[in-house]
Structure 1
Amino acid sequence: MKPADTFRTLFNSLWSKSNRAAKRPRRRHRRLRSETLESRQLLAADLNLFQHNFFDSEDVNDDGIVSPVDALAILNAIQRNQSDEGGMFTDVNNDGRRSPIDALRVLNRINRGGDKDRNDSPTDTETTVPDLPDEVRSIDGTGNNLEDENLGAAGTTLLRVADADYADGISEPGGEDRPSAREISNVLSDASVDSEGNDRGLSAFIYVWGQFIDHDIDLSLSQEDGETFDIAVPAGDPYFDPSGTGDVTIGLSRSVYDLTTGTSVDNPREQVNAITAYIDGSQVYGSDQETADGLRSFEGGRLVITDDGLLPLDESGMVIAGDIRASENISLTAIQTLFAREHNRLADEISAADPDLTDEEIYQQARAIVIAEIQSITYNEFLPALLGNNAIDSYDGYDASVNPSIANEFSTAAFRFGHSTLNDDIEFFDNDGLEVRDEISLTEAFFNPSLLEETGIDSILKYDASSQSMQIDLEVVDSLRNFLFGPPGAGGFDLVSLNIQRGRDHGLADYNSTRVAYGLDPVESFADITSDVELQGKLESLYGDVNNIDLWVGLLAEDHVRGASVGETHQAIISDQFERIRDGDRFWYENVFEGRELKELQQTTLADIIERNTNVEGLQENVFFMNATVSGTVTQAVDNSASNRSRSSSSNRNNNSSRDVAVEGVELELLDDEGNVIDSTTTDRKGSYRFSNFVHTGEYQIRLAETGETLDLLVSNGATRLRGLDFEIVV
């Protein structure tokens, strides 16, 4: 029997013995899956019964190559019921179990040729430019659904999954019996100065793309000269009321709402989404015809862009883009610029391929492709990075009965997770992952798009791919919590307070009621939300009752689901929203394109688009992860001469006088480029060590703690894996 046949027989045998899960029915419209609290807590505890390789999940033996040996290691471990992993990473899909499915993932990777580096493929491979669809989507979202032409269109109301919870049941802000939003912010969200990175290696692109896509699907405008809902500041607040007057407030205008609502308890106030709910490039092209026309050159299907490849600025110094928020920070402005360049690159290709096409035809064809790329990146890279690999159901085609509109729970609470992930500075990296200019604080990056005239977008995009984001939790950096848009008293704001207060303005239901509305069991204690005992105590001191927690607070407090960076309720809300956006979009790219065109769109990554439109090179394949690792061994030369003398001369003829043996328990240190020790470890019984907590690229050193001997290394991108950094101890 051939080795491959033996392997297949072993796999099939083990598969038949395993408990096959029944195929779950497809969820329609909204996720209504519930779990017992006991199982949820088990997930939160993350017992790590079997190891998962976060750097390359299918590389089970961590030798840098994905091969049948990796699948065989899993099957052998299952067959022997092996509990000691012996350095193997056998939980490939990171579901907390080890099963033939893990081996199948390895085999699928091999069959796809997935062990090749993205930069090993030829750059001159011919690509297909998808043709213009038979019908193009409108700018304002109307006409997408043929039965209800306004479904998901700009200017329609947000929908609710949970019942509204206004103080009077109609329109008065909720949360009247809860502490001030600023008090909650001070207690729960003061970021530790030592906070760095996150437990899954998510890069800064998790919040950059999150904000970019958020500006594609929802915008709640504030009333002008209308109702206010100011945030009370606790007396003596060190930032906003240092003199202790007790009279300070943080100003907040209430959101624009549908004037036909808010008339009775049967017709509570409903807020308006100013842009389309569809992922249709609204932030690039606009959500109304006037804006869309103002972004076009009307020559060759191109968008207006400067000679330096930047977005133009208006009279106030802000960028002119499809969304009014495009200047909020320079990372956002950089990616807005990137997709304007991508549109123009495609327009030039389309025009060159068929000079007879009109400006309008070129524009619409390039627009359709850009929208498809944004959709593909969101669902194939961003959402799996954020929610885990299996949180979103597979696509079954367009469903006219699905309402794609944005849920209030999503836009006003769940999708504001990114505020906790931002770093307090922005840096500028070259292709080697090294700084090319001084970093700036996040406060300096607010509404400062002219800075791109000095820096360009390359070094910012490289930094976003090469630096980890902060953990998704309740902690928020000072630039957002105390100095948003300026110092206190001079434009300063607290984004945490805003999130909480905005939820009350919109009459969002409390955390527990929202869980029930999404088909989840209610929590019965603060310990059901988080395993962090200190956080449990803070929540109880603020809210007293587990049934009265502000939704944004409850979502960010949750223990994360295994393999994801959000909690159970958080995952349910985001998954529900993105499934409805996709399934209710008649122009969804998988419903419009097919064959080779569709395949190329699905294989286009954010890294591809960055490298096509900038001078950035050598990015990791998935820029949503910044996971680098270095490893090596420590050995000691042992003299064999004594043992050799006891052997016959013939048997000694091929023996060296010494041999290297592994040394266990040797301490090694990881140093940054300033000589600071940022991590330490000791060698295992095989003499092996590993460091994997690199929060950004750059120059580092490995040092033997006892002798001071060092090895220099360069982490140049988010997928750097350096092996063979070995030390030999001389005795």
Structure 2
Amino acid sequence: MTGWFARRYGALTEWVDRRFGWHRLPLPLGLAVLVGVRDTLRRENLHDAGGRPAAAPFMAAYTTRRTADGAWNDLDDGAMGMAGARFGRNIPIGAVLTGDARDVLTPNPRTVSRALLTRHEFRPAPTFNVLAASWIQFMVRDWFTHGHGPASSAWSVPLASDDAWPGGELTIPRVLGDANLHSHWWDGSMLYGNSAAEQRAARTGVDGKLRVGPMRPVVDGHDPTREPGFWLGLLMLHDLFAREHNAICDRLRGEHPGWLDEELFQRARLILAALLAKIHTIEWTPAMINHPTTVTAMRANWFGLAGERVRRRFGRISSSEAISGIIGSATDHFGVPFTLTEEFVAVYRMHPLMPDDFAVRAAADDAAVGSWTLRELSGPAALAVAASTRMADLFYSFGTAHPGALVLDNFPRHLQEFERPDGRLVDLAATDLVRIRELGVPRYNAFRRLMHLEPVESYAELTGDAALAARLRAVYGDDVESLDLMVGMFAERPPRGFAFSDTAFRVFVLMASRRLNSDRFFTRDYTPEVYTRVGLDWVADNTMTTVLLRHHPELRPALRAVANAFQPWRRTDN
């Protein structure tokens, strides 16, 4: 929708949403409201921060393949979305906060961590599984990283007299800058790397295949298993999808026996990236926001409201993304060069999903295999656990266990006192707060206003819990405007079926579709000529369940009658 009608429709749907709530409406009306909300966000909440590196010279091969660093996805603007481009914004540039010391350290992030985020008792999320928690980290490793500045440049966080933080001093390294060191595109870079050197190291050089192992090999002395955030769940998914890439190569080689290593690799990469995007869109996201309206909306993003059966039988029946989906539609940047945004990064800080303790059980009969803490599964230690434990048992254990709920008082203990591979001790809860503040993302109420939501008038209105409201007031004072975005989102009462807040959902409404709309490999170039007919069929025919069963068929009993692999699996003890 464009022009006068679109603005009037957007104003109407915003009023309806504020008055009734989209999630309280019947499904057709709820969808109609979300369409209007998304169109308003597309017009008013995409802002270019500029600052892109120079792309390498164009080569004809780039018309049908993804580059290592994300350059030349847009053939008219080669640097758009490439690694090293600045993050964009979902708020006007003038609304970005300065990130000075007073803003970043007030209220004290360590105080907030200890008083409002500490997990005293694990609070599970019963409707999805730990595999879903692993998945989002796997995706984030593809989507973004700011990097870290030098150790000499750090925020020094004052400690309370009763804080027993080891060493008596808490420092939080500053971010390196406001550029994304990864490609902004949804291109599987966690498997393939973001540079030609990383890509060469990841490949075998034979039949287009990847090396199968815990992570990409060491490149220029950089060991991915020693990056902060590496743990067993990341290792498992890296192994699974490296194998899936190789299975795609085998299928392509059978169909095209004359193709050499480079052609097989490039086509398989396209196909796997699309499969990852599909799994995230129609499986992971509906597991996390399991409301009838959003489940329908996410499937419509991929297949259109005409549905999967029509898409598979007839292809696209309309140029409209609403009817036939975004996939294969016209590429659209909505007037703003594509990037991921700082606000997108902020709402994906979901560390409470991680349990502190993991029990591993056998896929065959649910018998106990072993137990480890999150600390014991993090960093290079994860390699030893993976080497001594059957991968099918690990997936079974993650599939049948619950992650943590995204609420206050549920931040993993092992992440509040986490030793990085370089030996630095960090409170990741305090670090998350500092990151959001120093990157200029507004506080909770200001953020809601900028995303076309009503601000809350009080802590009691936000939480519906007098005791929790009193605890928030004790930390933030009487001024609800000072409430941190992350704390507000964890305190908020979400829509039915939602794992996260409606505030966070506003960024997803906008960016979940934008990442597809802007990428020509999901839109105008989603064709047999680019992917091959076999490649398009591979994406259409596969799900997270089929990928798991292809490489670990012994999981079949646990996945029997499970509609979505990110929801709890069937235990095999009965």
- One of 515, 532, 552 as aligned partner of 1:581: 515
Q: For the residues of structure 2 that align with 1:298 and 1:26, how far apart are their CA atoms? A: 53
- 8 A contact 2:231–2:382 mirrored in 1: yes
Q: For the residues of structure 1 that align with 2:242 and 2:6, how far apart are their CA atoms? A: 40
- 8 A contact 2:288–2:498 mirrored in 1: yes
Gaps of at least 5 residues in structure 2 are 31-60, 302-324
Q: For the residues of structure 1 that align with 2:435 and 2:106, how far apart are their CA atoms? A: 14
Q: Does 1:519 find its partner at 2:452?
A: yes
Alpha-carbon displacement from aligned partner over 1:199-226 (angstroms, at most 9, x marks no partner): 5x11112211110111111111011245
- 8 A contact 1:347–1:362 mirrored in 2: yes
One-letter amino acid of the structure 1 residue matched with residue 393 of structure 2: S
One-letter amino acid of the structure 2 residue matched with residue 557 of structure 1: A
Q: For the residues of structure 2 that align with 1:441 and 1:300, how far apart are their CA atoms? A: 39
In structure 1, what is the equivalent of residue 387 of structure 2?
453
In structure 2, what is the equivalent of residue 216 of structure 1?
142
The structural deviation recorded for 1:154 is: 0.6
Q: For the residues of structure 1 that align with 2:523 and 2:93, how far apart are their CA atoms? A: 34
- 8 A contact 1:314–1:320 mirrored in 2: yes
Q: For the residues of structure 2 that align with 1:216 and 1:384, how far apart are their CA atoms? A: 20
The structural deviation recorded for 1:621 is: 3.6
The structural deviation recorded for 1:565 is: 1.5
- 8 A contact 1:372–1:588 mirrored in 2: yes
One-letter amino acid of the structure 1 residue matched with residue 550 of structure 2: R
The structural deviation recorded for 1:435 is: 3.8
Alpha-carbon displacement from aligned partner over 1:61-90 (angstroms, at most 9, x marks no partner): xxxxxxxxxxxxxxxxxxxxxxxxxxxxxx
Q: For the residues of structure 1 that align with 2:475 and 2:85, how far apart are their CA atoms? A: 36
The structural deviation recorded for 1:326 is: 8.8
In structure 2, what is the equivalent of residue 137 of structure 1?
66
In structure 2, what is the equivalent of residue 178 of structure 1?
106
Q: For the residues of structure 2 that align with 1:136 and 1:176, how far apart are their CA atoms? A: 42
Q: Does 1:191 find its partner at 2:119?
A: yes
One-letter amino acid of the structure 1 residue matched with residue 82 of structure 2: A
In structure 1, what is the equivalent of residue 476 of structure 2?
543
Q: For the residues of structure 1 that align with 2:125 and 2:286, how far apart are their CA atoms? A: 16
- One of 284, 297, 316 as aligned partner of 2:204: 297
Q: For the residues of structure 1 that align with 2:8 and 2:188, how far apart are their CA atoms? A: 27
Q: Within 5 Å, give how 1:248-263 maps onto structure 2.
A: 248-257=168-177
In structure 2, what is the equivalent of residue 77 of structure 1?
none
One-letter amino acid of the structure 2 residue matched with residue 564 of structure 1: F
One-letter amino acid of the structure 2 residue matched with residue 297 of structure 1: T
- One of 182, 186, 192 as aligned partner of 1:285: 192
- One of 598, 601, 626 as aligned partner of 2:539: 601
- 8 A contact 1:174–1:508 mirrored in 2: no
Q: Secondary structure at the match of 1:214?
A: helix
Q: For the residues of structure 1 that align with 2:483 and 2:273, how far apart are their CA atoms? A: 38
One-letter amino acid of the structure 2 residue matched with residue 230 of structure 1: S
TM-score normalised according to structure 1 size? 0.62
Cα gap change, 1:479/1:186 in structure 2, threshold over 3 Å: closer, same or farther?
closer
Q: Does 1:532 find its partner at 2:460?
A: no
Higher Cα Rg, which structure = 1
Greater CA deviation, 541-550 or 223-232?
A: 223-232
- 8 A contact 1:424–1:477 mirrored in 2: no
- 8 A contact 1:511–1:550 mirrored in 2: yes
- One of 477, 482, 503 as aligned partner of 2:436: 503
Q: For the residues of structure 2 that align with 1:390 and 1:221, how far apart are their CA atoms? A: 36
The structural deviation recorded for 1:446 is: 0.8
The structural deviation recorded for 1:453 is: 1.2
In structure 1, what is the equivalent of residue 489 of structure 2?
555
Alpha-carbon displacement from aligned partner over 1:686-721 (angstroms, at most 9, x marks no partner): xxxxxxxxxxx465xxxxxxxxxxxxxx2xxxxxxx
Alpha-carbon displacement from aligned partner over 1:646-685 (angstroms, at most 9, x marks no partner): xxxxxxxxxxxxxxxxxxxxxxxxxxxxxxxxxxxxxxxx
The structural deviation recorded for 1:36 is: 5.9
One-letter amino acid of the structure 1 residue matched with residue 170 of structure 2: I
Larger proportion of helix? 2
Larger proportion of strand? 1
The structural deviation recorded for 1:320 is: 5.4
Q: For the residues of structure 1 that align with 2:218 and 2:193, how far apart are their CA atoms? A: 16
In structure 2, what is the equivalent of residue 227 of structure 1?
153
Q: Percent identity?
A: 22
Q: For the residues of structure 1 that align with 2:118 and 2:130, how far apart are their CA atoms? A: 20
One-letter amino acid of the structure 1 residue matched with residue 203 of structure 2: R
Q: What's the C-alpha RMSD, in Å, of the aligned pairs?
A: 3.6
Q: For the residues of structure 1 that align with 2:433 and 2:394, how far apart are their CA atoms? A: 31
Q: For the residues of structure 1 that align with 2:219 and 2:71, how far apart are their CA atoms? A: 31
Alpha-carbon displacement from aligned partner over 1:254-289 (angstroms, at most 9, x marks no partner): 1112xxxxxxxxxxxxx1110011110010101111
Alpha-carbon displacement from aligned partner over 1:352-402 (angstroms, at most 9, x marks no partner): 333211110111111111111101101011112223415556334221445
The structural deviation recorded for 1:163 is: 5.0
- 8 A contact 1:207–1:422 mirrored in 2: yes
- One of 613, 616, 624 as aligned partner of 2:554: 616
In structure 2, what is the equivalent of residue 648 of structure 1?
none
Which fold has the larger relative contact order, with Cα–Cα distance below 8 Å and residues 6 or more apart in sequence? 2
- One of 191, 204, 209 as aligned partner of 2:130: 204
In structure 2, what is the equivalent of residue 674 of structure 1?
none
Gaps of at least 5 residues in structure 1 are 1-23, 44-94, 102-131, 242-247, 258-270, 629-696, 700-713, 715-731
Q: For the residues of structure 1 that align with 2:198 and 2:221, how far apart are their CA atoms? A: 17
Cα gap change, 1:505/1:197 in structure 2, threshold over 3 Å: closer, same or farther?
same
- One of 140, 153, 158 as aligned partner of 2:82: 153
Residue correspondences, number: 496
Q: For the residues of structure 1 that align with 2:229 and 2:8, how far apart are their CA atoms? A: 38
One-letter amino acid of the structure 2 residue matched with residue 429 of structure 1: R
Cα gap change, 1:159/1:226 in structure 2, threshold over 3 Å: closer, same or farther?
farther
In structure 2, what is the equivalent of residue 707 of structure 1?
none
Q: Within 5 Å, give how 1:270-669 maps onto structure 2.
A: 271-305=178-212, 310-311=214-215, 314=218, 325=227, 328-387=230-289, 388-390=294-296, 392=298, 394=301, 395-396=325-326, 397=329, 398-400=331-333, 401=335, 403-411=337-345, 413-417=346-350, 419-432=351-364, 434-447=366-379, 448-451=381-384, 452-485=386-419, 491-544=424-477, 545-588=479-522, 591-593=525-527, 598=536, 600-618=538-556, 619=559, 620-626=562-568
Alpha-carbon displacement from aligned partner over 1:280-338 (angstroms, at most 9, x marks no partner): 001010111111111111111111235xxx557649999658xx849711011110111
Cα gap change, 1:562/1:287 in structure 2, threshold over 3 Å: closer, same or farther?
same
Q: For the residues of structure 2 that align with 1:27 and 1:576, how far apart are their CA atoms? A: 19
One-letter amino acid of the structure 2 residue matched with residue 140 of structure 1: D
Q: For the residues of structure 2 that align with 1:538 and 1:433, how far apart are their CA atoms? A: 45
- 8 A contact 1:443–1:479 mirrored in 2: no
